[in-house]
Amino acid sequence: MTELFADGTGSIVVSNGVVRIELVQLRRKDDKAELESHTSGHLLMPVGSLKQLTLQLAKALEQIQARVAEKDRLENPPKGDDLDDALSNL
């Protein structure tokens, strides 16, 4: 199995029932601090599978956002007035 790393996506083309998603990586330009994107590969899949992929990605994003919110809640608990306001709104 081949694994590809992508910093993002480039073009997305749908043709003949197949979605083609360009995967891009950021690389240093001429050993300088400046970055430029290069194609690292392509994801090809039937259009019918795109909905399931989209749902799975949305679910993963929701899980990440919930973890970030929980971490923020634990690291920054409400202070006095905020807690009083929260309790009064119950």
Domain of 28, CATH number, reads 3.10.450
pLDDT bucket at 51, cuts 50 / 70 / 90: very high
- CA 70, distance to chain mean position in Å, is 18
- The side-by-side arrangement of strands in the sheet containing 35-46 is 8-15, 18-28, 35-46
Specify if 85 maps to a domain.
no
In a domain, 45, yes or no: yes
49 occurs within a structural domain:
yes
Query: How many domains would you assign to the chain?
Result: 1
Closest CA to 2 of 55, 43, 57: 43
Residue 83 pLDDT > 70, yes or no? no
Residue 3 lies in a domain: no
Does the residue 60 lie in any domain?
yes
Whole-structure pTM value: 0.69
Question: Is 90 a residue whose pLDDT tops 80?
Answer: no
* Structural domain containing residue 59: 8-77
Total count of residues recorded for the chain: 90
